[in-house]
Structure 1
Amino acid sequence: MRMSRLQHLAGFFFAALHFLLFAVCPASTRIYQTNDAVVIEVDGVGPSNYAIRNFGNPPPNPMMYAVNPYTGLLSHQPYPNFQFWPYPLYKPASSFSDADDVTATSPESRQQNIACGKGPASPPQRSFPDVRIVGGSEATPNSWPFIVGLRKAGSTGVFCGGSIISPTRILTAASCVNELSAFDISTMTVSLGMHVQGILDNTFSDAQMTRRVSRVVYHIAFNTNTMVNNVAVLTVTPPIVYSAAISPVCLPPFNNAVNPFLGLDAAIMGWGTLASGGDASNTLQQATVKVISNAACNIPYENFIRPQHFCAAADGKDSCQYDGGGPAVVQNPNGSWKQAGIVSFGFGCADPEYPGGYSSVAFFRNWIDTYMKN
């Protein structure tokens, strides 16, 4: 009730800001809210112009590593950000229909008969002396065909991760997109089938496919301070063509029970930094962590953990800066991989006191389904 009243008050006081927003945003941008999501649609978007190197080093430890993947650089954005849209500015555009798309729950997708959840035969093992993603190893190229990298204009590097859930939809974290300007969204692209992201001298991205982002949807109740409801769905165009190197992850069925993946090994992967505040990896890295109880995680996080979250940890292993939005996957009995979590938050990286925090995909499955189809 309190939130609803605050939203109406915000709508009154910030109406003028919305007119200002559209004065500086591209004319083809539409921003509105549904009962459970903020929606940003961009028509006529074009490919990003990758001109400069990745956004420098992230802030030093400690930090909430996925709250904002480019903290301290917001002043570099060409347009102001508005973190909430108190009332609908436009009626939603024509519905996107993915009725024939992958639902990612059945063993076989409906596009090209490619199964969801393709991946390695077993979780990655730690390999010494390599120190990657933090404490992992370099992945075999294209062994995780559902992992994608999000890019925006002005950077050669990935600023967040994501996963393929249908030929037109990418699952990621709200924290990756909620503070992007309309310009950022209009120039954002998704790299698919990629191993080398191309941030080092004399290296280039080996992405097998690039798609534009035409629509961003993130949870209306997302809170940057608590990382509650940290989930987003992106629409890409044109549709993704599946191949051996590019295919969707499976999704778990809806389950709002606390931590349905307790005790399982989860594989994490991304192009993020190799240590807190360090340099990003030029190649895809992977590691295995174990899902722990929310009660145990709430001890160091001082009751920060909610039913929408779960935590996972392993000695010296963790996701880090720029891994936000990427998948944490667990293996089904048949060997396929389903996405248990979305990389969401953490205090430092691989800090033994603080496990990594993830948004539970099972908890948000119904929300995700809504924006896979509409």
Structure 2
Amino acid sequence: MKMRMSRLQHLTVFSVAAIHLLLFSICPVSSRIYRTNDAVVIEVDGVGPSNFASRNFGNLAPVPMTYAVNPYIGLSSQPYPNFPLWPYPLYKPASSFSDVENVTATSSDSKQQKIACGVGPASPPQRSFPDVRIVGGSEATPNSWPFVVGLRKAGSTGVFCGGSIISPTRILTAAHCVNELSAFDISTMTVSLGMHVQGILPDTYADAQMTRRVSRVVYHNAFNTNTMVNNIAVLTVTPDLIYSAAISPVCLPPFNNAANQFVGKDAAIMGWGTLASGGEASNTLQQATVKVISNAACNIPYENNLSPQHFCAAADGKDACKNDGGGPAVVRNPNGSWKQAGIVSFGFGCADPKYPGVYASVAFFRNWINTYMKN
């Protein structure tokens, strides 16, 4: 396979685990790492944001293939919301919430009150020009996608990956967003929810309605940074989320390991990533509509490296891009709710007409997701 993640070392799971253990031994946080039969689990206790989290670290030069590579360098200083005193925003409980351990639009089981999953716009984003966003999309209406979240590391005002809300304590994202984070990274990692402006431009600030820290990272233990198989992760956030009109879960499809289950459907993608390959990130949430194509057609440019756990989607001039990785690709249910078909995974360039975007199939991994939503 010609594609490579040049900034990600191709380590075995055992060596990744060894590196995590070494980092945990030198970082001043209480942490554990262990393996299950299908996951690497990293837990961090008693941690909060860094006291020097006001640094705004810029991004390294883009890598053509991957949509999300961890940003580490830069020195321009800018205030970072909710740091360093870590005052979690206080909100009155919304009138209705739903427990979404088994997410459907009509879940009757509720530990909280009932907010339906999959709230979103009445139709997919229009394929319009000349707006050039996410790549080739448009600015979303603020809080119109209440399940999309931005992942941040202390020291950076910008989002380095996306994700989606799947329960009051769980965020779904891509393994490549978290598999090489250190104990310190995890201990200071936060999730911005109900956000439209990420606050990377001068005199702008993140408008997230809620911020939560990450206490647990679980990613598939067979994730491969070369082939991008098993590119899935579940994060645990603390304290529990409080659902509202701006913060609510996405619906999840039932388990289905067949390929091509969404072929021909329009999928909405959204994120705060770069607006073009090698371009600047967007300060506001962007959205676009792409169409799911068959794996057979997509396997031609990707040299037969795709499997039923992947699907591809494309549209002229439209794609996810760097820092959109881990974000959702959603399709509409007949009742109008939105379910998450895919997780932004990889591609060659951004909106390159020869290379559709590739997504991890949520339906394929539904049983894996269920396990780490409940445990």
Which of 33, 36, 51 is matched with 2:35 structurally?
33
> Counterpart of 2:300 in 1: which secondary structure?
helix
- In structure 2, relative to structure 1, the CA distance for the partners of 1:20 and 1:54 (3 Å cut) is closer
- In structure 2, relative to structure 1, the CA distance for the partners of 1:322 and 1:16 (3 Å cut) is closer
Which of 40, 54, 59 is matched with 2:62 structurally?
59
> Counterpart of 1:335 in 2: which secondary structure?
coil
- In structure 2, relative to structure 1, the CA distance for the partners of 1:56 and 1:101 (3 Å cut) is closer
> Counterpart of 1:370 in 2: which secondary structure?
helix
Offset of 1:158 from its aligned partner?
0.2
Separation (CA, whole Å) in 1 of partners of 2:188 and 2:295? 38
Q: Is the 8 A contact 1:58 1:70 kept in 2?
A: no
Which segments of 5 or more consecutive residues in structure 1 lack a partner in the other structure? 1-8, 77-98
1:178 match: 179
Separation (CA, whole Å) in 2 of partners of 1:159 and 1:370? 26
- In structure 2, relative to structure 1, the CA distance for the partners of 1:101 and 1:360 (3 Å cut) is closer
Offset of 1:21 from its aligned partner?
3.7
Separation (CA, whole Å) in 2 of partners of 1:119 and 1:102? 20
- In structure 2, relative to structure 1, the CA distance for the partners of 1:14 and 1:351 (3 Å cut) is closer
Offset of 1:108 from its aligned partner?
4.2
2:49 match: 47
- In structure 2, relative to structure 1, the CA distance for the partners of 1:38 and 1:141 (3 Å cut) is same
1:107 match: 106
> Counterpart of 1:116 in 2: which secondary structure?
coil
Offset of 1:241 from its aligned partner?
0.3
Q: Give identity over the alignment, percent.
A: 79
1:63-142 correspondence runs (5 A):
63-66=64-67, 68-70=68-70, 73=72, 101-108=100-107, 110=110, 111-142=112-143
2:226 match: 225
Q: Is the 8 A contact 2:58 2:74 kept in 1?
A: no
- In structure 2, relative to structure 1, the CA distance for the partners of 1:112 and 1:346 (3 Å cut) is same
- In structure 2, relative to structure 1, the CA distance for the partners of 1:317 and 1:51 (3 Å cut) is same
Separation (CA, whole Å) in 1 of partners of 2:259 and 2:302? 17
1:276 match: 277
Separation (CA, whole Å) in 2 of partners of 1:10 and 1:119? 37
Offset of 1:240 from its aligned partner?
0.3
Letter aligned with residue 51 of structure 1: S
Offset of 1:59 from its aligned partner?
2.2
- In structure 2, relative to structure 1, the CA distance for the partners of 1:369 and 1:143 (3 Å cut) is same
Q: Is the 8 A contact 1:259 1:309 kept in 2?
A: no
Letter aligned with residue 56 of structure 1: N
Separation (CA, whole Å) in 2 of partners of 1:19 and 1:56? 27
Give me the CA root mean square deviation: 2.3
- In structure 2, relative to structure 1, the CA distance for the partners of 1:268 and 1:54 (3 Å cut) is farther
Letter aligned with residue 45 of structure 1: V
1:88 match: none
Which segments of 5 or more consecutive residues in structure 2 lack a partner in the other structure? 1-11, 76-97
Separation (CA, whole Å) in 2 of partners of 1:322 and 1:193? 18
Letter aligned with residue 30 of structure 2: S
Q: Is the 8 A contact 1:125 1:287 kept in 2?
A: yes
Q: Is the 8 A contact 1:221 1:229 kept in 2?
A: yes
Separation (CA, whole Å) in 1 of partners of 2:16 and 2:216? 23
Q: For 1:160-217, what per-residue CA distance to the aligned partner results, in whole angstroms no more than 9, with x for missing partners?
A: 0000000000000000000111100000000000000000000000000000100000
Letter aligned with residue 210 of structure 2: M
Letter aligned with residue 103 of structure 1: N
Q: Is the 8 A contact 2:29 2:187 kept in 1?
A: no
Q: Which has the higher helix share?
A: 1
Q: Which moved more, 1:313-322 or 1:301-310?
A: 301-310
Q: Which moved more, 1:178-187 or 1:40-49?
A: 40-49
1:133-282 correspondence runs (5 A):
133-282=134-283
> Counterpart of 2:299 in 1: which secondary structure?
helix
Letter aligned with residue 26 of structure 1: P
Letter aligned with residue 244 of structure 2: S
Q: Is the 8 A contact 2:150 2:161 kept in 1?
A: yes
Q: For 1:226-264, what per-residue CA distance to the aligned partner results, in whole angstroms no more than 9, with x for missing partners?
A: 010000000000000000000000000000001211110
> Counterpart of 1:301 in 2: which secondary structure?
coil
> Counterpart of 1:217 in 2: which secondary structure?
strand
Letter aligned with residue 69 of structure 1: V
> Counterpart of 1:300 in 2: which secondary structure?
coil
2:364 match: 363
Number of residue equivalences? 339
> Counterpart of 1:341 in 2: which secondary structure?
strand
Offset of 1:53 from its aligned partner?
2.7
Q: Which moved more, 1:298-307 or 1:164-173?
A: 298-307
Offset of 1:129 from its aligned partner?
2.0
- In structure 2, relative to structure 1, the CA distance for the partners of 1:74 and 1:217 (3 Å cut) is farther
2:6 match: none
